[in-house]
Copies of this chain bind each other. A is one copy, B any other.
Amino acid sequence: MNQGILYGVGVGPGDPELLTLKAARLLREADVIAVPDKGAGEQTALNIIGQLAQGKPLLHCSTPMTRDQAVLDRCHDGIAREIADILDQGKNVVFITLGDPTVYSTYIYIHKRVLALGYRAELVPGVPSFCAVAARLGTSLCEGSERLLIVPASHKDLSDCLDLDANLVFMKAGRSITELQDRLRERGMLARASMVANCGMEGEQVWQRFEEMQEPSGYFSIVLVKEGT
């Protein structure tokens, strides 16, 4: 029996219509759909694919909310082993992931492990959340010779980001958004910032002027700061 293949599939930022044709096909053809589960964001990945998951066996892959690397490693090892067992049965597994699988996804840790165990695994690109946010704001992420710097929630040092001559995307959760607002105000950059929370999903909120956002809300927010002209 041939071994199955693991596909790490980006399902896009939220709107089910932003799935790619390839993602839709692979989901229809999948024997098992693996669903990451670490909180509100991941249930969303399952919501996005909606009816494409109907009648398919789901493999729920829980990862704990911890920064303890040893705990995370053990957890990822376990998920990779579970997936390998399914691949050994000749079944294909589609692991769904919000946005794009190469951009801050948990999937990449599973991908490396499954490859290391000697199985085939492929990455299938999706639309990253920051592209959807720019579209929602009706603006470009970058034009002409502008550079674009993406800064994740977990990056601590903001100072060298704010010094760089580039458009900036901050991916931030919950309260840290207020701190970012303060830092941008100090630097006189706040007037050039916009924000979208839960883009394309339930509870979407859009601030063309980030400075008008008073109450941090939403599980996940993206702030775009354009260069001064």
> Is A149 at the interface (CB under 8 A from chain B)?
yes
List chain A positions with a Cβ less than 8 A from chain B.
10, 12-13, 15-22, 24-25, 100-105, 108-109, 111, 115, 122-128, 131-132, 134-135, 138-152, 154-156, 160-161, 164-166
A89 CB, min distance to chain B CBs, angstroms: 24
Closest B residue to A152 by beta carbon equals B145
Q: Which of B10, B19, B135, B166 contacts A124 (CB 8 A)?
A: B135
> How long is the Cα–Cα vector from A126 to B13 in the complex, in angstroms?
11
Q: Which of B16, B17, B127, B166 contacts A149 (CB 8 A)?
A: B166
Q: Is the CB of B149 within 8 A of A149?
A: yes
| Candidates B19, B100, B139, B144; contact of A131 at CB < 8 Å | B100
Cross-chain contact A147 with B127 (CB below 8 angstroms): no
In the complex the two chains form, what is the Cα distance from A15 to B104 in whole Å? 23
Query: For residue A136, which residue of chain B has the nearest CB?
Result: B123
* Residue from B22, B108, B139, B148 within 8 A of A140 (CB atoms): B108
Whether the Cβ atoms of B142 and A147 lie closer than 8 Å is: no
When distances are taken between beta carbons in the complex, the residues of chain B under 8 Å from A141 are: 100, 102-103
- Complex alpha-carbon distance, A123 and B160, angstroms: 31
User: CA of A32 to CA of B106 in the docked complex: distance in angstroms?
Assistant: 41
The contact of A125 among B22, B103, B127, B150, by CB within 8 Å, is B127
Given A134-B123, A164-B164, residue A152 in contact with residue B156 (CB < 8 A): no
Q: How far is the CB of A113 from chain B (nearest CB, A)?
A: 13
